[in-house]
Amino acid sequence: MIENLAKIIVRSPGVLLLPAALVLLAIIGYIDYVTGYFARVSGLYLIPVFLMGVVGKKQGLLMAITATLVGGMSDALDKPRNITDLIFLWNIFMNFFVYTLFVMILSLFKSEFSQQTNQARRDQLTGLYNLTAFYELAASQLQKSSRLTQPLSVIYLDCDNFKNVNDTAGHAVGDILLQSIAQTMLTLLRRTDLVFRWGGDEFIAVLPDTGPNGAQKAAEKLQPALMAAMQANHWPVTFSIGVAVFLQLPTDLDDMLRKADGAMYQVKRSGKNSIRYELFAVSPEAPFPGEESQT
């Protein structure tokens, strides 16, 4: 339950929460007025403050000020004569203090939860998105591409002879090699592309709104850069790359992976160290700029 609440806190859209917060604030202000000065309902104002605090700290603080003013107006309309102005102002100040403190604590909670969520999505060695993130982010991108009827491309990359590096130079060197691959992919691919370490020496890049030309340019820019990094460090590693271009989007993530993985394994079986392209379109005769590229 707590985990689900945390997800709502981080992801809730402000467009929906703002009207809800304002309506609640008006209702609570009315209740505060009709119940009288001594029937305290100031705790209820925390509800709209919470809703806007979900949107952001600034919005939460603005709602804290607004809630304080609404509550103060309700109290002012029914303030008993024996309550001095000093006590009245003190009560208003304390309400504002509590609301503001609540917003600050909520903001810290959101920040901490976001950091933990981000760390859980990342591969600890390379800093790329991990397997857990793939099934969340790639699924979201697949849905978006389907909704916008945009093409989607997937690059599936496998390191040839990586085990030999681990066996001869040690796992520490192997780790540096994998970090070099990750950094190269992040540098050359677009910020909108999603790059994942699939496991071991396999990497996946999901390229939104990318058709045959864009996918080919990305792959043929990526492989020589990766080879240059390997040669600069005298690492005897090459790359088998499968590129699946979806003009007709896959039915699900497993279908998408199977097709990209199949293209990569075609490279493995035909001698490694090359790029193979597979185009998936409504029309099987749809053109593709290149079938296979050998380096």
CA distance 66 to 95: 11
Judgement on whether residues 145 and 249 belong to the same structural domain of the protein: yes
Judgement on whether residues 170 and 197 belong to the same structural domain of the protein: yes
- pTM for this model (two decimals): 0.68
In a domain, 51, yes or no: yes
Of 95, 121, 147, which marks where a domain is finished?
121
Judgement on whether residues 161 and 113 belong to the same structural domain of the protein: no
Judgement on whether residues 138 and 278 belong to the same structural domain of the protein: yes
Whole-number Cα distances in Å, 87 to 35, 80, 83: 20, 11, 6
The 3-class SS string of the chain reads: CHHHHHHHHHHCCHHHHHHHHHHHHHHHHHHHHHHCCCCCCHHHHHHHHHHHHHHCHHHHHHHHHHHHHHHHHHHHHCCCCCCCHHHHHHHHHHHHHHHHHHHHHHHHHHHHHHHHHHHHHECCCCCCECHHHHHHHHHHHHHHHHHHCCCEEEEEEEEECHHHHHHHHCHHHHHHHHHHHHHHHHHHCCCCCEEEEEECCEEEEEEECCCHHHHHHHHHHHHHHHHHHHHHCCCCCEEEEEEEEECCCCCCHHHHHHHHHHHHHHHHHCCCCEEEEEEECCCCCCCCCCCEEEC
Judgement on whether residues 184 and 262 belong to the same structural domain of the protein: yes
Judgement on whether residues 31 and 135 belong to the same structural domain of the protein: no
What are the residue ranges in the chain where pLDDT is below 70?
Answer: 1-15, 283-295
Judgement on whether residues 79 and 148 belong to the same structural domain of the protein: no
pLDDT at res. 112: 82
CA nearest to 129, candidates 61, 205, 17, 188: 205
Of 67, 90, 121, which marks where a domain is finished?
121
Q: Is there a contact between 288 and 277 (Cβ–Cβ < 8 Å)?
A: yes
CA nearest to 223, candidates 257, 264, 256, 193: 264
Give the pairing of strands 152-160 and 194-199: unpaired
Of 98, 121, 144, which marks where a domain is finished?
121
In a domain, 126, yes or no: no
Q: Is there a contact between 244 and 156 (Cβ–Cβ < 8 Å)?
A: yes
pLDDT at res. 2: 47
Judgement on whether residues 45 and 84 belong to the same structural domain of the protein: yes
Task: Return the number of other C-beta atoms located less than 10 Å from residue 9's C-beta.
Answer: 16
Domain span including residue 241:
131-294
Give the pLDDT confidence of 44-79 residue by residue, as tens digits: 999 999 989 888 899 999 999 999 999 999 888 888
**Positive/negative CA dihedral, 131, 133, 137, 140:** positive
pLDDT at res. 64: 94
Judgement on whether residues 102 and 146 belong to the same structural domain of the protein: no
Q: How many domains is the chain partitioned into structurally?
A: 2
Tokens of 182: 């990750």
Judgement on whether residues 154 and 285 belong to the same structural domain of the protein: yes
Judgement on whether residues 62 and 156 belong to the same structural domain of the protein: no
Say which CATH number the domain at 165 has. 3.30.70.270
Task: Return the number of other C-beta atoms located less than 10 Å from residue 97's C-beta.
Answer: 12
Give the pLDDT confidence of 92-118 residue by residue, as tens digits: 999 999 999 999 999 998 888 777 777
In a domain, 257, yes or no: yes
Judgement on whether residues 144 and 224 belong to the same structural domain of the protein: yes
In a domain, 37, yes or no: yes
